[in-house]
């Protein structure tokens, strides 16, 4: 159950959030909780969640370890402050920063090398869905971005299916749409990496997940978890999602 705060909250807000959130998820078992705040709040988040089982992740990384790359942050830097996860190629990064499938591969490899679990995002745009291209978009994203990973690398990633038209729009994919897309992705994984790794990879659904729709999404066997934007900003609503 992962939360992506996007570009919201200061370090002070972060502290106030965990004060409310942690008691609400105490004792919750059988699920992994990850929260991805903006870079400047990562350290506060790691400190506040120490010993609680709640994991902290970044929302992006650069693929090199260090260098003259102004404004970028590397995997070893993120890992060194106690983060365990990193989101890769969120659709907002694909859209606003032109991240490509080649970026997906190199960022995912860099994250793994730094000891971070990558949450790799895929998903089609509205026009692509409406013109019946969903499966071919997912095929291309998988083949060109995730496909070049070695099997032992693929075994360590998490995939997030986030249809772009469902992000921040209040339009959740129906459980049927999400199930079909997850099956398409798992099928891609099967063809490239074999049955065992395909069955084991966790695929999260993201796009307008809320406390009142999480149960029907999580009831689908193909959906292994959720990646939540807006509703993860409120500690009470994200705790309700985690405890669905
Ligand atoms: P919303 O939950 O706000 O639709 O955002 C989803 C998302 O982009 C999570 O990464």
Residue 167 in contact with ligand 1 by CB distance below 6 A: yes
CA 171 – CA 61 distance, rounded (Å): 29
By DSSP bridging, strand 158-161 and strand 85-88 are unpaired
pLDDT of residue 169: 87
Residue pair 42/74 in contact (Cβ under 8 Å)? The answer is no
The model scores a pTM over 0.85: yes
pLDDT of residue 173: 85
Instruction: List Cβ neighbours of 193 (8 Å cut-off, separation of 6 or more).
Output: 151, 154
52 CA to centre of ligand 1 in angstroms:
24
**Given 1.10.8.50, 3.20.20.70, 2.60.40.10, 3.30.300.180, which CATH number is that of 2-63+73-242?**
3.20.20.70
CA 154 – CA 165 distance, rounded (Å): 27
pLDDT, tens only, 128-160: 999 999 999 999 999 999 999 999 999 999 999
The count of residues in the chain is 244
Residue 228 in contact with ligand 1 by CB distance below 6 A: yes
Burial 127-142 (b: 16+ CB within 10 A, else e): ebbeeeebbebbbebb
Question: Which atom of ligand 1 lies nearest, measured to the CA of 230?
Answer: 3
pLDDT of residue 171: 83
Beta carbons within 10 angstroms of residue 202's beta carbon: 14
Closest CA to 154 of 179, 118, 127: 118
67 CA to centre of ligand 1 in angstroms:
32
Residue pair 163/129 in contact (Cβ under 8 Å)? The answer is yes
CA 239 – CA 208 distance, rounded (Å): 16
CA 39 – CA 154 distance, rounded (Å): 26
Residue 207 in contact with ligand 1 by CB distance below 6 A: yes
By DSSP bridging, strand 2-4 and strand 33-36 are parallel
Q: Locate the domains of the chain by residue range.
A: 2-63+73-242
92, 168, 210, 231: which to mutate for ligand 1, most atoms within 8 A of CB? 168
Q: Can you list the residues of the chain whose pLDDT is less than 50?
A: none
pLDDT of residue 140: 98
DSSP 83-111: --EEEES-HHHHHHS---HHHHHHHHHHH
- The CA–CA distances, whole Å, from 159 to 11, 123, 141, 226 equal 28, 10, 11, 10
pLDDT of residue 149: 98
Catalytic residues: 90, 162
- The CA–CA distances, whole Å, from 161 to 25, 72, 121, 166, 241 equal 25, 25, 6, 11, 18
Say which DSSP state 205 is in.
E
């Amino acid at each position: 159950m992962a939360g992506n705060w996007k570009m919201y909250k200061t370090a002070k807000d972060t502290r106030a959030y965990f004060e409310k959130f942690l008691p609400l998820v105490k004792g919750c078992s059988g699920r992994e909780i990850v929260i991805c705040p903006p870079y400047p709040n990562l350290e506060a988040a790691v400190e506040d969640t120490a010993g609680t089982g709640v994991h902290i992740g970044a929302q992006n990384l650069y693929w090199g370890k260090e260098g003259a790359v102004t404004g970028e942050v590397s995997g070893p830097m993120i890992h060194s402050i106690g983060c365990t996860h990193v989101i890769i190629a969120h659709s907002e990064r694909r859209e606003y920063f032109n991240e490509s499938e080649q970026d997906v591969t190199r960022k995912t490899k860099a994250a793994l090398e730094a000891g971070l679990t990558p949450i790799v995002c895929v998903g089609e745009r509205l026009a692509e869905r409406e013109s019946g291209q969903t499966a071919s978009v997912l095929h291309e994203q998988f083949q060109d971005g995730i496909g070049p990973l070695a099997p032992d690398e693929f075994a360590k990633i998490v995939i997030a299916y986030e249809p772009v038209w469902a992000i921040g729009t209040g339009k959740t994919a129906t459980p049927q749409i999400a199930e079909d897309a997850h099956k398409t992705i798992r099928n891609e994984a099967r063809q490239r990496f074999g049955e065992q790794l395909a069955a084991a990879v966790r695929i999260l659904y993201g796009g307008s997940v809320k406390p009142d729709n999480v149960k029907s999404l999580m009831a689908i066997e193909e959906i292994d978890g959720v990646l939540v934007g807006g509703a993860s900003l409120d500690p009470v609503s994200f705790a309700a999602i985690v405890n669905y």
